[in-house]
Structure 1
Amino acid sequence: MAAVKIGIIKEGKVPIDRRVPLTPFQAKQVKERFPDVEVVVQSSDIRCFTDEDYQNEGLTLVKNVDDCDVLLGVKEVPIPNLLSGKTYFFFSHTIKKQPYNQKLLRSLLDQKIRMVDYETLTDQSGKRIIAFGRWAGIVGAYNGVWTYGQRYNLFNIRRANECFDLEDLKTEYAKVKLPAIKIAITGGGRVAKGAMEVMHGMGIRKVTPAAYLTEDYDYPVFTQLNTRDYHIRKEGGEFSRHEFYKSPENYESDFLKFAHSTDLLIAAAYWDPNSPVLFKREDITKSAFKINVIADITCDIEGSIPSTKQPSTIEDPVYDYNPSDDQVEAAFTDEGNITVMAVDNLPCELPRDASESFGNELLNNVLPELLGNDDKEVIKRATITGDGDLTDRYEYLRDYAEGKE
C-alpha cells in the first residue's frame, strides 16, 4: 500500500462542534495498525480533546492540511475551507436533498472532491456501521425529561452539556421526580435504544403499547413504538415492514391513538420524506390531543412532526409551538402551546463519550476498508462524489446538485 497521509481537520461549522472523528489514543492506534499511514492533527481550540492531548500521544500538530490525502471531520466543511481533489469524510447532510446544503454538494463536484459520507457507510446487508445515534438518543431523552421538569417546575437537574461525561450525567438521574405521566418513544434503532437507556436509568418502567393505551398507572411509564405500532396499510391488510420501507406511500399514520395518551413524546425514529407524518397541526388543536412536550431527536424540519418548525441549539434548547397560529413562540409562555426540544447536534453535549464510540467504529470498521482493498465495497457504497461527478448510487441527486429542484 502506498503511503497515505490522513489529517484530522478543525471543525469549521457554526455553531461549533466539539466532537472529533478520532480521539488522541485512537489516532495513535491508526499509526500503529497501519505503518504506512501518517496522521496529523490540525490545531483547534474548540475540540473536547486539546491539542496537547494529541501531542501527548505522539501526534503532529499542523496549521493546515493541504498536503494530506484524506481529511476526517465530523460536520459539514464550510465551502471556503474545502480543498480541491481531496478525499473527505464527514456528515454532508445532502442525501435527502436538504436545501441548505445544495451549494455544498455543488462545490464538492466542482472541486473534484471524493466525498465519503458517514451516514451512508453500511455493511453488505445495508446496516449502518458508524453513527452517533446512541448518543443522540441518550442526550435527547435526557433533554426531554429536563424540558418536562422545566415546564412544570418539578425538579432541577444539570443540562447534559454541563456534565463531564455519561457517568457524570447519570448522577443526575436520582434527582428526577416525575408524576404519573406516559412517555412514548418512537423508533427501534440506535437512537431509540439510547433513549431507553435513560428511561431505565431513571427507573421509569416500560410497558407494552397495548397496556400503554388501556391501563392507568400511578407512576411514570414509557412505551417504545416500532413502525408497525403506528402505521396501517391504506388499503387494509397486514403491516409489512419490508413493504413499508420500500413503499411507505402505501401506508398512513395511526399514531393519534398514542397522542391521546401521551404526555411526553420522544421522537427517535428515522423518517423518510415519502413516509406519512406522525400527525398534523389540526390534530394538535383538538381536545383529545394530550402531548405537551416533544423531544424531537430526529429534528426533521417541517417533517413528520408539525411543531418542529426550526432547530434549537444547545445554548437555547427549547421553544414553544403555538398550534392555533402555527407559530414558534418563546419557551414556556402558554399552557396551550407544545414545548419543543429540537437540538440538531445532540451528541455534542457529551462530546468525549460520543467521539470515543464513533472513533472505535471508524477505526475498526471503516479505515481497514479505506486503507485496504475495500473488498466489501464499504467505501464504494458511501462515496457520493468523485472526479467531479456523482457516483452511480447517488445519481438521484443530479437535479438537486444542479439546482433544478
Structure 2
Amino acid sequence: MTELHLWLRHEDRSTERRTPLVPSDARRLLAEGATLTVEESPQRIFPVEEYEAAGCRTAPAASWVSAPEDAVILGLKELPDRPAVLAHRHIFFGHAYKRQPGAADLLGRFAAGGGALLDLEYLVDADGRRLTAFGYWAGYLGAALAVLHHRGRLPVPLTPTGRKALDESLRRAAGDQEFTALVVGALGRSGRGARAAFTAAGVDPTCWDLAETRDLDRPALLRHDVMVNAVLATSPVPPFVREADLDDPARRLRTLCDVTCDVGSPLNVLPVYDRTTEWTEPARRLRERPPLDLIAIDNLPSLLPEESSTDFSAALLPQLLDFPGGAWARCLDRFHQALEEARRD
C-alpha cells in the first residue's frame, strides 16, 4: 500500500446508517501506515468516538470539500449537489455508468474538477467478479420486508434494527396465511440473502436464475403471491414484469420487491414504476384491483446497519491495503471509459 490518506465522509442521506469502514478495520489500516480522517456523523451506526479511540483523526461533517487534494474520499451513497466541481478521488456507489438519472451531471462534475470516481460497484477481480457488495443483506431485507408487508405486519416508518429482532418478527404467527414466493436471481448474493430470509419466515420460495429467465415463463411468474427481484442486469434483457402484466386478470402477484432498484436505467428489468419507495412509505400501491404493492428501497442494508457494515468493511479492507493498485486500477479505467461514453453522448 502506498501512502494513503483516507477521508471517511458523513452520509448526506438521513436514512443512511451504514459505513464502508468499521472502527476495527480502520485500526488495521492505521497499523499499515494509512492516515484516516473520519467525519462526525449523527446517524452512522458506529460513533466517531470509536474511530478516534482507534487512532483516527476527526473532522466536522461535510468538511471533505476542503480536504487535502491527495485525500481519497470514502463514502457509500450519493454526494450532495455541491460543490459543482469534484477535484478529489471518491470511492462510493456512483450509479453513473448505465445512464441513470443524474449520471451525466455527476460525471460532468468530475470532468470539470479533475477528480475521479472509483465506483464500488465496479471494484472487481480480474474475472469481473465484484469484490465488495452489500448484496446478501439487500436481498435479506428485501425478502423480509416483502414477507412482513404481505402478512400485514410491516412497520411504518421503517427503523433500523438487528438481525435477532428482525428474525423474530419474521416467524410465522397464528393466523398467518400460506403464500407462494419467487426469488429471481436466486443464485447471486442478493438472491441467497432473499432465500435465507424466506427460510427464516417459514416460506419455501421458488428459485429462478439464468436458466429460468432465458426463456421466461411470465404466466408462472404472475401466479406467485410474492416476488423478489435480485437481478442486476448488465446487458439488455426482456423485462420480467411489464405494464400490461399488471392488468392480467390471471395475476396472483400481490407484493413485488425490487432489491436492485435500477429505476430509470434502460437495463431495468421491472419497468413498471418510476421512483423508489422510502422508509416513511416503504410500500406503494401499483394497482388496486387486484391489489399489487411495490417495495423498492435503494438502501435496504441500512436497516441492519451493524451487520451489513461489518461484512462490507471486512471485504473492503484488503482492497484498501492494496490501494491504488489491482482492482482500483480497473475501477479507474472504467471511470475513464464512462467519461468517454458521456462525451460521445
TM surpasses 0.5:
yes
Which residue is equivalent to 2:340? 398
In 2: Cα distance, 1:362 partner to 1:76 partner? 19
Consecutive unaligned residues of structure 2, counting only runs of 5 or more, are none
Which residue is equivalent to 2:117? 115
In 2: Cα distance, 1:355 partner to 1:180 partner? 33
Which residue is equivalent to 2:275? 310
Which residue is equivalent to 2:105? 103
Cα offset for 1:292?
A: 1.4
Cα offset for 1:128?
A: 0.5
Q: 2:213 aligns with which of 230, 237, 254?
A: 230
Give per-residue Cα distances to partners, 1:235-271, cap 9 Å, x unaligned.
xxxxxxxxxxxxxxxxxxx231322421111111112
Which residue is equivalent to 1:291? 253
Which residue is equivalent to 1:61? 58
In 2: Cα distance, 1:342 partner to 1:378 partner? 30
Q: 2:217 aligns with which of 255, 267, 273?
A: 255
What letter corresponds to residue 178 of structure 2 in structure 1?
A
In 1: Cα distance, 2:141 partner to 2:316 partner? 22
Identity fraction in percent: 23
Structure 1 residues 176 and 104: alpha-carbon distance in aligned structure 2, compared to 1, 3 A threshold: farther
Secondary structure of 2:171 counterpart: helix
Question: Are residue 203 (structure 1) and residue 202 (structure 2) matched?
Answer: yes
Any conservation in 2 of the 1:160–1:349 contact (CA below 8 Å)? no
Cα offset for 1:144?
A: 0.5
Any conservation in 2 of the 1:255–1:278 contact (CA below 8 Å)? no
Secondary structure of 2:238 counterpart: coil
Secondary structure of 2:10 counterpart: coil
In 1: Cα distance, 2:110 partner to 2:173 partner? 47
Q: 1:359 aligns with which of 265, 289, 313?
A: 313
In 1: Cα distance, 2:86 partner to 2:284 partner? 40
Consecutive unaligned residues of structure 1, counting only runs of 5 or more, are 151-155, 206-221, 233-253, 323-333
Structure 1 residues 382 and 82: alpha-carbon distance in aligned structure 2, compared to 1, 3 A threshold: farther
Give per-residue Cα distances to partners, 1:32-55, cap 9 Å, x unaligned.
2x12x1111112222111122222
Which residue is equivalent to 1:215? none
Which residue is equivalent to 2:177? 179
Q: TM-score, normalised by structure 1?
A: 0.77
In 2: Cα distance, 1:357 partner to 1:341 partner? 24
In 1: Cα distance, 2:157 partner to 2:214 partner? 33
Structure 1 residues 260 and 70: alpha-carbon distance in aligned structure 2, compared to 1, 3 A threshold: closer
In 1: Cα distance, 2:164 partner to 2:184 partner? 25
What letter corresponds to residue 214 of structure 2 in structure 1?
H
Structural RMSD (CA): 2.3
Secondary structure of 2:223 counterpart: coil
Which residue is equivalent to 1:7? 7
Cα offset for 1:8?
A: 0.7
Give per-residue Cα distances to partners, 1:87-110, cap 9 Å, x unaligned.
210011011111322111110111
Structure 1 residues 83 and 310: alpha-carbon distance in aligned structure 2, compared to 1, 3 A threshold: closer
What letter corresponds to residue 218 of structure 2 in structure 1?
L
What letter corresponds to residue 279 of structure 2 in structure 1?
I
Question: Are residue 131 (structure 1) and residue 85 (structure 2) matched?
Answer: no
Any conservation in 2 of the 1:86–1:114 contact (CA below 8 Å)? yes
Give per-residue Cα distances to partners, 1:210-229, cap 9 Å, x unaligned.
xxxxxxxxxxxx11101211
Which residue is equivalent to 2:327? 378
Secondary structure of 2:322 counterpart: helix
Question: Are residue 269 (structure 1) and residue 231 (structure 2) matched?
Answer: yes
Q: TM-score, normalised by structure 2?
A: 0.89
Which residue is equivalent to 1:246? none
Cα offset for 1:28?
A: 1.2
